[in-house]
Structure 1
């Protein structure tokens, strides 16, 4: 399948990153400003940069790629801005308000806040249509479905201009015939509508979660379809030999059709590739405990990988909507290079979450932005090159940065712009430290047992200060940091999740046989899907998990198990794995209690050939790579000190830089604070360590 190149594209809120890898493993990184109104324009601009650099036309580049992979924030932005399609819901009569009742409480953190407003409903009440039907919890049909109710719903939807429909009936996971027949009627009466069937998208117990997931999927489907169709058509026009792959929030690739049918998997598409990339850059150092931090222009994304395994979230509230399908566990903060500094009503300095984004951008971009941002502070502190970013292609205006900070922060606080800039820098760092603590300390992990991997264009200016505050002693910062998520895409496999409900107790042979039967059924679906996608049997693998709980418990926990058949000889392995997981999560187990299965899941992977990892040569010594000195501020006094600045492009393997120092790579700037040093490894990553005390 391999040709000459592989292209990864990661569309962020401010920049769209492009990684182009050749067969030898050599990787080139390009950045273009994101174009939220027309995301394909940013892709066109990025390909133009590649053409200028390589001397090849966009058509030549694309036609020579074995894979073109796209990670996008289109679905996420549509959900944030409530700009999805006009959606209708067909559900069991009497359950029209389940998505609004939300199990009777608000999200964690706001449960007891009477002033916290209700979530905006993705389906208005008048477009939630109840159908007379009922399936019991044992799968028996109590009330046959009234087809006239479904037809009446379709007539209303056609009258109201509904473009996408979700169907979710109570206990459809045990008896899906009603949903399937309702789907046939919708397809017959609304052939142009996009349809989401709850028992097919999320075939697991919990009616509210399934309905909310189906509604969210339906809401995003028209937006994702329009985007996928445009991107696919654009790449076909350029001569792409293979279909574009899209990155999913479960950490794997999918073809465009899958992203349209399963649009909910696109919600966290961009940052979901960070753990794969983080493990890849940490691999030469045999590190498997990794916290990956990605600070872009708009947000700061954190993922934690323990022992080479990254946590997945299921059945969570994401942007106030319950999502059941697996998603890479990402902690996202409004802390990016474009995050705005402002003074609250108590006279205290705050940073974000509002951002200047790509338009108008920070004040220093000189594109109309007037509010002071993190990038403006970094420029005033002397960290960023005043001649511009991205190799000078993005010029910076230091005067406008200083004036914005003076007007909106320094003068109101009665301090100098330099002290204000350092205050902005410190506060945004503290915000990011708190985010890292949420994914580590609050989940029982000691962050000092992990290495910190830097991703994103803005991270390198902050990461040593963050590590200092966290007590983390080692940072791995690849030269590709600003495009690390795009790099993660090109080394990822195709991945699909298949699920089934299995309300059984692990205490008899009939239960074992039923679980084995269900696994075979869902894995056959996955293997057939991947084979149609061009994968051979030897390229496909499955990983199984089971959601279990003790009898009498309300909530279950997910346990990874092997691919063996469950029988009287192997069931003890499954039971012991559950006890161990329960102890890990809750500090205790009930070994005397019976265990019951709730849901099963199998993750099917289609293995994709990985590009080789290129090595860098010896290069220039630090003294020859020094560009000069720049005044930079490293403490709250606001006093600038003479700081050496190095050209990272000239440095070779083994070069060591002691802080305080600034290392300028083409697409990122590394700030090495006093007491730390950075050594460039042959793998292309800086290993930044703290001086022993």
Structure 2
């Protein structure tokens, strides 16, 4: 009498031999022909039974919901007269056709932030930069992603609400700090900012939408870095409401309103700096070798402060920072991943079998991408072997060359990867091949990025829309600050801080002693003024 909505099947060693799982799935599909059945060996052929089971159950739970939604969207698209492939963003930074996404719904869970990461790679190509740190700050959280060698960083395992997910996911570090992060004083009398958020509703006190608690946005309003120009039409900014909300926090701290607002902004920036160091310094990388890319609605607000406090070379503000993740989705291309756990000691005698698996998967994934409408000329592969020292409980990914000619160098490559991450290597220790991984990317046809109108070094008068007093953290008094309208800036314009650049989707704050150059594509390049 059971009436399941979805069924999950996961047997102990099916990642190695799927015969029993396949027979069980066939029988269940005969009994329940209209019920989606998720089979672990069809979506994840990796060991560790709990993560594999968790992933299978997550997919089974999502399939009815996601499948119904995508089917509805597909129907609406066809009704409108559009007959083209319907693609959905995945957590791995690439797209997949909707029919496959419906069957493998677990691959969509973190697809939102992945769009921004894909945008970083595209932005890096445009500016010939292969080392970027993206900081995507919205109203509730901040997502940080480090791009090295122009490639998306991927993790094979992700923990989501205490549930383990085995699926390639863009390596993004998230903290609970956003424009709506609430500032408060804890029981010990210390100032805290976040992770609680005022969200869109009721929002910051200054927005006059019912919010009464002080937020990071309210602190910026008090300091003058956010003014009425920053808001969309139809919204009114109340500095009085912001001051009132921040005053309540100030009273508990025994400080004045301005000191408290500076402390709120400084603490939020400190949270971001700590997160930026976690994805760089703690992984053996120097953040000064990277270009900072703040985006999202609130990221550019903190560009100047982050640039100075981290002693970075430059920050690059995309042309449309608030829409950057959506733009990234359009550049992502189609991506398919496959993996197979082996758990065998590395042996030169087995090299041919490793190469054979990769070669066979290249043929299989190429056929699938061509069926999805991708030209064979636009298909690229990334091949990786997860390896570890025999007896270790964790493994490291070792990237192979596109031609697979360096598989025999796996021991040397692994020792180097281990030394880079952990500071040591055991050259006489046997190495175990844990999992073979391959990713196939079908790139969209490249389009030329639109350049904005060129101008002189001097900014045209029309681009200056006013002045306002702004108090910057680190400065004792307010400073008369120029306000620019970004849409009126021209390629080649150069101007100095302090200044604020307003646009429809974000606000960029430039500190005293910093200089901005408008690039040919309309991006803002911020550096410390050393002239």
By the TM > 0.5 criterion, same fold?
yes
CA contact (8 A) 1:491 1:611 kept: no
2:327 to 446, 471, 487: 487
Q: 1 CA distance for matches of 2:153 and 2:109?
A: 17
Provide, for residues 594-630 of structure 1, a one-character-per-residue CA deviation record: whole Å limited to 9, x for no partner: 3331211111111211332111122474361221211
When residues 233 and 499 of structure 1 are mapped into structure 2, their CA distance, relative to the original with a 3 A threshold, is same
Scaled by the length of structure 2, what TM-score is found? 0.93
Paired position in structure 2 for 1:317: 159
1:174 to 9, 12, 16: 16
Q: 2 CA distance for matches of 1:353 and 1:532?
A: 45
Q: 2 CA distance for matches of 1:502 and 1:658?
A: 58
Q: 2 CA distance for matches of 1:398 and 1:223?
A: 43
Secondary structure, aligned partner of 1:310: coil
Paired position in structure 1 for 2:308: 468
**1:419 equivalenced with 2:259 (yes/no):** yes
Paired position in structure 2 for 1:219: 61
Equivalent residue runs for 1:504-519 within 5 Å: 504-509=344-349, 511-519=350-358
Equivalent residue runs for 1:70-469 within 5 Å: 158=3, 162-390=4-232, 392-407=233-248, 409-469=249-309
CA contact (8 A) 2:319 2:521 kept: no
Provide, for residues 461-500 of structure 1, a one-character-per-residue CA deviation record: whole Å limited to 9, x for no partner: 1111012111112111122111111111111110010111
1:673 to 495, 511, 518: 511
Secondary structure, aligned partner of 2:259: helix
Q: 2 CA distance for matches of 1:234 and 1:242?
A: 12
Matched positions, count: 529
Q: 1 CA distance for matches of 2:277 and 2:346?
A: 37
More moved, 620-629 vs 333-342: 620-629
CA contact (8 A) 2:336 2:440 kept: yes
Displacement of 1:271: 1.4
When residues 637 and 473 of structure 1 are mapped into structure 2, their CA distance, relative to the original with a 3 A threshold, is closer
Q: 2 CA distance for matches of 1:356 and 1:232?
A: 35
When residues 563 and 287 of structure 1 are mapped into structure 2, their CA distance, relative to the original with a 3 A threshold, is closer
Paired position in structure 2 for 1:527: 366
Q: 1 CA distance for matches of 2:79 and 2:268?
A: 43
2:381 to 511, 536, 542: 542
Secondary structure, aligned partner of 2:251: helix
Secondary structure, aligned partner of 2:228: coil
Displacement of 1:585: 2.3
Q: 2 CA distance for matches of 1:295 and 1:213?
A: 29
Provide, for residues 155-201 of structure 1, a one-character-per-residue CA deviation record: whole Å limited to 9, x for no partner: 6x53xxx4222211111111111111222233233334332211121
Paired position in structure 1 for 2:459: 622
Secondary structure, aligned partner of 1:484: helix
> Deviating runs (4+, > 6 A) in structure 1?
none
When residues 210 and 375 of structure 1 are mapped into structure 2, their CA distance, relative to the original with a 3 A threshold, is same
When residues 443 and 677 of structure 1 are mapped into structure 2, their CA distance, relative to the original with a 3 A threshold, is same
When residues 234 and 464 of structure 1 are mapped into structure 2, their CA distance, relative to the original with a 3 A threshold, is farther
The CA RMSD measured in Å over matched residues stands at 2.2
Displacement of 1:636: 6.1
- The unaligned stretches of length 5 or more in structure 2 are none
CA contact (8 A) 1:616 1:683 kept: yes
More moved, 612-621 vs 196-205: 612-621
CA contact (8 A) 1:248 1:268 kept: yes
Q: 2 CA distance for matches of 1:354 and 1:348?
A: 16
CA contact (8 A) 2:133 2:291 kept: yes
Q: 1 CA distance for matches of 2:365 and 2:127?
A: 35
When residues 549 and 398 of structure 1 are mapped into structure 2, their CA distance, relative to the original with a 3 A threshold, is same
Q: 1 CA distance for matches of 2:178 and 2:241?
A: 19
Paired position in structure 1 for 2:481: 643
Paired position in structure 1 for 2:415: 579
Secondary structure, aligned partner of 2:194: strand
Paired position in structure 2 for 1:95: none
CA contact (8 A) 1:388 1:395 kept: no
Secondary structure, aligned partner of 2:445: coil
CA contact (8 A) 1:254 1:494 kept: yes
2:492 to 654, 666, 671: 654
Provide, for residues 373-412 of structure 1, a one-character-per-residue CA deviation record: whole Å limited to 9, x for no partner: 222222221112325524x3543233322222223x2233
Q: 2 CA distance for matches of 1:247 and 1:233?
A: 18
**1:686 equivalenced with 2:524 (yes/no):** yes
CA contact (8 A) 1:454 1:481 kept: yes
CA contact (8 A) 1:197 1:214 kept: yes
When residues 226 and 382 of structure 1 are mapped into structure 2, their CA distance, relative to the original with a 3 A threshold, is farther
Displacement of 1:284: 4.7
Displacement of 1:521: 3.8
Provide, for residues 556-599 of structure 1, a one-character-per-residue CA deviation record: whole Å limited to 9, x for no partner: 21111124467xxx543333322322222233333333333121
**1:553 equivalenced with 2:395 (yes/no):** no
Provide, for residues 248-300 of structure 1, a one-character-per-residue CA deviation record: whole Å limited to 9, x for no partner: 11110111222222222112111113233223333454321110111112210
More moved, 452-461 vs 254-263: 254-263
Q: 1 CA distance for matches of 2:404 and 2:510?
A: 53
More moved, 222-231 vs 243-252: 222-231
Secondary structure, aligned partner of 2:277: helix
When residues 338 and 610 of structure 1 are mapped into structure 2, their CA distance, relative to the original with a 3 A threshold, is farther
More moved, 268-277 vs 447-456: 268-277
Provide, for residues 634-658 of structure 1, a one-character-per-residue CA deviation record: whole Å limited to 9, x for no partner: 1367743321111222111121221
Secondary structure, aligned partner of 1:211: helix
Paired position in structure 2 for 1:141: none
CA contact (8 A) 2:143 2:175 kept: yes
When residues 388 and 464 of structure 1 are mapped into structure 2, their CA distance, relative to the original with a 3 A threshold, is closer
When residues 637 and 455 of structure 1 are mapped into structure 2, their CA distance, relative to the original with a 3 A threshold, is closer
